[in-house]
């Protein structure tokens, strides 16, 4: 890290430049709920997310090129190709939740996709939809129509990003469902390399960039439990910080329960032992 230049901080990650062509993404153990970072870390959360993202990058290469160059031995750092990032978030929704549910209730559509009437919160959609959003510098990303997205990145780029996003989601959602996890929705970030080709970047198909639901508890008609963050939500709720600024330290049993859920998601999806990943992170790549 001696020569790495810090480029920026996300809520739970750090970004460094290694040289002109390579970046280092470092996933911390910080956790956020309702867009707020909590004061208590979840041990190994950054390693679980890094390992999962690496696993998906390795398994989706035939669908779409990606930025991954290597996982570092610390298990939380990804060396990647430096891209020119598209200024839109590429969201795919297979189920009606979050801002998708909000927009549907208001207008019967999401990002210009007219949906059947009578859908309930968390219902599975007739087919997955591509619902682009702007990248807000601060505050919340805003859903935009396909036409608006096409104006921002160009019609050709838009069509390619939509096609790749849907293909990636369809592959991963089917794979995860066989292993007991519903990926309700997910966000991809694409960039272009020097040849102009679209490349999948950032972190993809992790619980931080997606909504993971336990399939065995799926009950449409309301909010679903979060696969990874439910212990934290329940705790914040219990102490009266339902969905606002929760800055209380988490009790040890909430930390341990949450760590267990992350590790469980990793092991169910990769069919690898998390301890084996810690010993040699590159095992998720083969
Ligand atoms: C990712 C982000 C983080 C703060 C830029 N391969 C790439 N090439 C160029 N830029 C990026 C990537 Cl992944 C890129 N972000 C998001 C990550 C901290 C912001 F760890 N921003």
Closest-CA residue, ligand 1 atom 2, reads 10
**Residue 53 backbone phi and psi in degrees, to 5:** -60, -45
- Cβ atoms of 130 and 146 closer than 8 Å: yes
At 247 the pLDDT is 79
Gap from CA of 16 to ligand 1 centroid (Å): 9
Mutate to test the pocket of ligand 1, among 7, 13, 15, 87 (most ligand atoms within 8 A of CB): 15
Q: What Rg value do the Cα atoms of the chain yield, rounded?
A: 18
At 212 the pLDDT is 98
Q: Is 82 in the pocket of ligand 1 (CB under 6 A)?
A: yes
Q: Which residues contact 122 (CB under 8 A, 6 or more apart)?
A: 95, 96, 97, 101, 184, 213, 218, 219, 220, 221, 222, 223, 224
Name the residue among 135, 146, 136 with its Cα closest to residue 110: 146
Indicate the pTM of the whole model: 0.98
Question: How many Å is the maximal CA-CA distance in the chain?
Answer: 57
Strand (E) positions, 44-107?
A: 68-71, 77-81, 84-85, 88-95
Q: Residue 172: which H helix or E strand, with range?
A: helix 155-178
pLDDT in tens, the chain (286 residues): 779 999 999 999 999 999 999 999 999 999 999 888 999 999 999 999 999 999 999 999 999 999 999 999 999 999 999 999 999 999 999 999 999 999 999 999 999 999 999 999 999 999 999 999 999 877 789 999 999 999 999 999 999 999 999 999 999 999 999 999 999 999 999 999 999 999 999 999 999 999 999 999 999 999 999 999 999 999 998 888 776 777 789 999 999 999 999 999 999 999 999 999 999 999 999 9
Please give the distance of CA 127 from its chain centroid, rounded to a whole number.
Answer: 20
């Amino acid at each position: 890290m001696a020569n790495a230049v810090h480029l920026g901080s996300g809520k739970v990650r750090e970004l460094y430049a290694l040289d002109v062509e390579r970046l280092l993404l470092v996933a911390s153990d910080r956790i956020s709920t309702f867009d707020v970072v909590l004061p208590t870390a979840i041990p190994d959360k950054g390693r679980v997310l890094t390992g999962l993202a690496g696993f998906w990058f390795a398994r989706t290469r035939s669908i779409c090129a990606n930025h991954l160059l290597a996982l570092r031995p610390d298990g939380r750092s990804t060396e990647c190709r430096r891209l020119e990032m598209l200024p839109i978030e590429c969201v795919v929704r297979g189920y009606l939740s979050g801002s998708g549910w909000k927009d549907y209730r208001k207008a019967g559509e999401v990002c210009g996709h007219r949906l059947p009437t009578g859908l309930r919160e968390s219902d599975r959609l007739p087919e997955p939809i591509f619902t682009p959003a702007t990248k807000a510098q601060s505050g919340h990303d805003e859903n935009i129509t396909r036409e608006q997205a096409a104006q921002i990145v160009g019609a050709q780029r838009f069509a390619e990003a939509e096609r790749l996003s849907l293909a990636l989601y369809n592959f991963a959602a089917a794979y995860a469902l066989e292993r007991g996890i519903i990926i309700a929705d997910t966000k991809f970030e694409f960039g272009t390399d020097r040849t102009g080709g679209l490349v999948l970047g950032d972190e993809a198909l992790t619980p931080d960039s997606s909504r993971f639901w336990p399939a065995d508890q799926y009950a449409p008609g309301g909010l679903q439990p979060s696969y990874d963050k439910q212990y934290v939500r329940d705790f914040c709720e219990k102490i009266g910080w339902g969905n606002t600024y929760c800055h209380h330290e988490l009790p040890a049993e909430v930390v341990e329960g949450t760590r267990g859920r992350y590790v469980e998601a990793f092991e169910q999806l990769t069919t690898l032992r998390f301890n084996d990943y810690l010993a040699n992170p590159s095992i998720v790549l083969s």
